[in-house]
Amino acid sequence: MVINISDNINTIKQRIVSAAVKCGRDPDSIKLLAVTKTIPTEYIIKAIDAGITMLGENYVQEAKDKITAIGSRARWHMIGHLQTNKAKYAVIFFDYVHSVDRLELAQELDKRAGLINCKLNVLIEVNVSGEESKSGIPADNTPALIKQISGLENLAVRGLMTMAPYSNNPENARPYFSALRNLRDNISRQQIPGIQMEELSMGMTDDFAVAIEEGATIVRIGRAIFGERK
């Protein structure tokens, strides 16, 4: 089966607009991030040619090869679990890291970013569902972690990220997305110096419309753009 990446992207953008209009949001406030894990470089280039400006990778080594080939035609986001010993590569290759979930990792990213004189945008990954199989800090511990990170001068905390439990029914994800939005709002009210809670990275192929209704500003789409992974 031939995958028409451009058509798929246009369809997703239309669905983003529909979901935004449904809940009274500005469609331009929602960013589409294409998840390129295992996707060949030539397909990624087709997505960029079709208007994609944000790419999400799960593994540093795989991303390194693609970034070397493609360069800065798009902004690269690390969305997978990040080992502390990979921080030195993450600060070089990525514009954003969505998966900061512990102080040790934040401190290493801060140190490595300082060595190359850059400020790294990060999101705090929150395990809203409490599933043991998922990475992320428990929701109750998130404000304390952010207060600790706020003192790290080479990191810019931009918001929160989560993954809802898998379900055939997108509505089952709504409580988790709502919980992340409420957590973001509660943290914003604390007015922690240097912290900007502007981004909510949540929602994927099966549930991104619900995520938008609950406040997502970044939706992470892979399968609906590139088809099923081989």
Q: Which pLDDT does position 230 carry in this prediction?
A: 62
d(CA 155, CA 160): 14
Compute how many other C-beta atoms are within 10 angstroms of the C-beta atom of residue 182. Answer: 14
Contact 98, 79 (CB under 8 A): yes
Query: Are 190 and 227 within 8 A, CB to CB?
Result: no
Q: What is the pTM of this model?
A: 0.96
CA 166, CA 112: separation in Å to the nearest integer? 35
The helix/strand count (H/E) of the chain reads as: 9, 9
Q: Could you tell me which of 198, 202, 199 has the C-alpha nearest to residue 128? A: 202
Domains and CATH numbers, the chain: 5-226 (3.20.20.10)
Q: In the chain, which stretches have pLDDT less than 50?
A: none
